[in-house]
Amino acid sequence: MNSAEQTQIQPTTPSFAMLRTLAGIAMLSGLLVVMVFQFTRPIIEENKRIAIEKAVSRVIPGVVSKKDYLLGPDGLFPAVAGEGNPGEKIYAGYDADGKLKGIALEAAATGYQDVIRILYGYNQDCQCVTGIKVLKMAETPGLGDKIAFDPEFLRNFEALDARLNADKTGLENAIVTVKHGSKREQWEIDSISGATISSKAIGRMINDSGQRMFPLIIKHLDRLRSGQ
């Protein structure tokens, strides 16, 4: 058989059929992704809500109920699902008598490996931080991940000084993480030995968040106390 004959009997590529099959597979895959997303979204949201609720009761001692707000330079707004975002989400925690026990806030900063996200508590009466709960991190097991459970490190946040300055525009003293064993002041965080980078990320995120948010909390304290 010469080469001209060979070319003639080669089967033609069914390009239209191939394209149709590929397009069908792509559409089906897309549909499946959307369906899985739609199905899992409420489950993920519910798990997130439960995790936040647990974290709030951990960082605000004595809290039995909470109300979600959005707080920013534009004011304080009740957080309504699906509405715009005029501020940062905060959680006001109340005791059984409806008395404001504290505010929980989210904060984040880059640690040794990746972004660390925490929820922390702020008490408006002592103007101090009352606890932290790590929500997300990828710090090294046995080193940086101690920020989540090391009892000595967590003691830093039982009454960490976060008083406002005289004109209530920021903190009187910046919250700062110091080298292990050198904490002298109530606004200093004693870092974990061998994990100074992760410890510093915690101090940095609380200071940045506090400088921005504590003046706004104090400004809107009456409304937060009334739960309106």
Ligand X SMILES: Cc1cc2nc3c(=O)[nH]c(=O)nc-3n(C[C@H](O)[C@H](O)[C@H](O)COP(=O)(O)O)c2cc1C
Minimum gap (Å) between residue 142 Cβ and ligand X: 9
Q: Which stretch binds ligand X (CB under 6 A): 1-9, 135-143, 155-163, 208-216?
A: 135-143
**Choice from 139, 188, 206, 214 touching ligand X (CB under 6 A):** 139
Q: Which is nearer to ligand X, 140 or 211 (CB)?
A: 140
Q: Which is nearer to ligand X, 173 or 196 (CB)?
A: 196
Contacts for 72-80 with beta carbons within 8 Å, 24 or more apart?
72/216, 73/216, 75/220, 76/216, 76/220, 76/223, 76/224
Q: How far is 86 from 187, CA to CA, in rounded Å?
A: 30
Q: Does 194 bind ligand X (CB under 6 A)?
A: yes
Minimum gap (Å) between residue 183 Cβ and ligand X: 13
Q: Does 186 bind ligand X (CB under 6 A)?
A: no
Question: How many residues lie near ligand X (CB under 6 A)?
Answer: 13
**Choice from 180, 219, 223, 225 touching ligand X (CB under 6 A):** 180
Q: How far is 87 from 217, CA to CA, in rounded Å?
A: 12
Q: How far is 210 from 90, CA to CA, in rounded Å?
A: 12
* Upper half-sphere CA count for residue 84 (Cβ side, 13 Å): 5
> How far is residue 197 CA from its own chain's centroid?
19
**Choice from 76, 128, 160, 195 touching ligand X (CB under 6 A):** 195
Strands 176-178 and 188-190: parallel
CA distances from 80 to 69, 112, 225 (A): 8, 35, 19
**Choice from 123, 130, 156, 198 touching ligand X (CB under 6 A):** 198
| Subset of residues 99 to 128 that bind ligand X, contact rule: CB under 6 A | 112-113
Give the sign of the dihedral formed by CA 166, CA 225, CA 222, CA 52: positive
Q: Does 148 bind ligand X (CB under 6 A)?
A: no
Minimum gap (Å) between residue 202 Cβ and ligand X: 10
Q: Which residues bind ligand X (CB under 6 A)?
A: 112-113, 139-140, 143-144, 180, 193-198
